[in-house]
Amino acid sequence: MMSINAGVTPSMVDWIRRQASDQVGDVPIVVARHAWDRFWGLMRCRDTTALVLPGCQAIHRWMPTGAFRFGFFDHEGNLIREGSSSPLGLYWEPDAAQVVEVRLGQGCRKPPEGFSMIEGLLMLPLMLMLALGLTQLMLVGLASLIVQYAASEAARQGALEGGRALAIDRGLARGLAPIWFDLKPAAEREALLTVAGAAGRYAMAKAQGQITWSIVSPTAATFEDWAHAGTGVIRPPAWVQPDTIVPSSGTVANDDGLAIGRRSQVHYIDAASLKIRVSVGVPLIVPVAGPAIAKALRVAQGCGSVDFRRECLLLSGRLAFGPPTPMIGLSATGISIAQSPLLAATLGR
């Protein structure tokens, strides 16, 4: 006699009985209703000798803990295909509605002594590489937050000083200090906390090509539309009434009462905002995982052995200080409303 679950048809029970004809006693049937049961299947050693996978069209045998017979069934419970598993086998039947797995004979006996240790040793390098990779990805994620913060600092500092390059550099140096802090010996860390120390480290990285920035807006068209009386100066919104200013190229539309310039396609508030795009090379410092990620990215980006694109130079470690250290380029955008006049002649200079 077999214990039958809901959803198991008589034809499926007959098929299970034929596969387990040498089984002494009942053959329990379990329906895998949860993801955990689906994942493990019959790979675990347990009393269950028959497992039903509803709504399934593919099965696998990913651990060598015993062979089993499988059968693919349609919605009415009719057998479509059957077979025996092989190590690391993957089986797929597109017309199936459910699958039944039946462990063969002694498949659920306790493995030989030491078998679990061998499996663990085989999986250890993979698990170690996975842990190192996750560590490197978490560090890159942390660095991306710092780069975003630095871009915002650069935009704020630039907006205070008319978008001048020295002001933007000061803001970036202050914002990027946490990235370099943990890469320095303890004796040099305190220096990075000072303005001069952060500026010095920033200057070295910028000269090496690890850091680049550019002004996204205002553009030349923005100055043509919104500069005050043809002076090449965009005054801060706090100094004027933005809803009363008309672009020189004419109005193409209105946004909440603010005219949008035909040539620049922005209104005055956006025109008087400093928007900066920053790119920073962040070292991939985790052993094994860092170089492996860099190599994969080089292949993905089509970097050759002699490639002078900045992203390829970063990944190859040619822009690092001292020994070559692969880096990944992280980009971020910062924006801030101008607090002082923006001059076309000195913007970004």
Say what the alpha-carbon torsion angle 60, 64, 68, 74 is, to the nearest 10 degrees: 0
Question: 188-206, pLDDT tens digit by residue?
Answer: 555 555 666 677 888 888 8
Angle at 92 between CA 80 and CA 27, to 5 degrees: 60
Quote the CA–CA distance of 82 and 59 in Å, as a whole number: 12
Question: 109-163, pLDDT tens digit by residue?
Answer: 455 566 567 767 888 888 999 999 999 999 999 999 999 999 999 999 999 999 9
Question: 47-84, pLDDT tens digit by residue?
Answer: 556 888 888 888 877 654 566 789 999 988 899 999 88
Q: Is 261 exposed, middle or buried (0-12, 13-18, 19+ CB in 10 A)?
A: buried
Provide the residue count of the chain: 349
* Single-letter residue type at 206: K
* Single-letter residue type at 21: S
Distance of CA 331 to the CA centre of its chain: 14
Instruction: Please tell me whether residue 145 adopts helix, strand or coil conformation.
Output: helix
Short-list 5, 21, 1, CA closest to 102? 21
Quote the CA–CA distance of 38 and 33 in Å, as a whole number: 8
pTM here?
0.66
Q: In sequence order, what are the beta bridge partners of 234?
A: 342
